[in-house]
Amino acid sequence: MSHAARAMQAARTGLFVNIILVIVKLLAGIAGHSYALIADAIESFTDIFASLIVWGGLRITTKPADPEYPYGYGKAEALATAVVSLMLLGAAMGIAVAAVGEIMTPHHMPAPFTLAVIAAVIPVKEFLYRRVLRVGSETGSTAVKADAWHHRSDAITSGAALIGIGVALWGGPGWESADAWAALLAAAVIAVNGIFLLRPAIHDLMDRMPERPVLEQIAAIAGGVEGVRATEKLRVRKVGMEYFVDLHVQADEMLPLREAHILSGKVKGAIRSAVPDVAGVLIHMEPYEGKTRALEISSL
């Protein structure tokens, strides 16, 4: 199964689970007078849209390149990640505003059965987070990683709700607002996650260079091809789950044009064989002038 197919499958699984959890938590929160549980349901509701956005973004990403988009549609994945991150920030703000209102306004004590609902939800969301994050890490998809952190933020809000409801029930009259305070704390954690996820999405949209080990691996592979005397000006951009490489390669200045062309093809083949996530390589051949300049690694 391809990276894109695995990523879309993970998004669909998250979508299905979240639909069930929203219904369960919302009904339990309303019936049990627990704002923390209602806030948790709201967060899960944003997860549904997040999974839909991730799934849609990944579907666009898989479209082949065409004359209008010669680098393909991979940026749709970064856009989906940015939207999901902004949704997290929006959900955090909405939960915080509503939680403050609940703290300021007296309300009913949460029902004991809401604790059982929360206790059942937390392991489900944590398991889903770990499963989706593993897929995101294996495929290199920032959108799937963002979706995974959406599940983790849901587990966090559920954990906060569990603490808040437990404190309210244990404290008795006068402690009714404990679950609202828990929702407020959860909102802060969700906001931090949203900011944490937004940064890599912006990096990909602005063609920031990938991690140093990726660059060093590409440079080492190119330099190891027979006939290559030196390499310089390595530029790499991430488009979706793939990389596009630009590299200047120095060879013997007396090398015929045809052989230089063949050498550039060998360099391309070596890079793409060793790094399967590289979708395209552009090689600029230069004459080797007897001295090796330091490899310049810069962004596009």
Strand partners, 37: none
* Superfamily of structural domain 3-205: Cation efflux protein transmembrane domain (1.20.1510.10)
Amino acid at 55: W
User: Would you call 208 exposed, middle or buried from its count of C-beta atoms within 10 A (0-12, 13-18, 19+)?
Assistant: middle
Which segments of the chain belong to CATH 3.30.70.1350? 212-288
Q: What is the mean pLDDT of residues 207-233?
A: 89
- Tens of pLDDT, residues 268-290: 999 999 988 898 999 999 998 76
- Tens of pLDDT, residues 249-274: 999 988 999 999 999 999 999 999 99
Higher pLDDT, 234 or 117: 234
Higher pLDDT, 178 or 261: 261
- 121: three-class secondary structure by DSSP: helix
Which segments of the chain belong to CATH 1.20.1510.10? 3-205
What class, spelled out in words, does domain 212-288 have in CATH? alpha beta
- 245: three-class secondary structure by DSSP: strand
Q: How far is CA 22 from CA 45, 179, 285, in A?
A: 6, 18, 57
The whole-model pTM stands at: 0.67
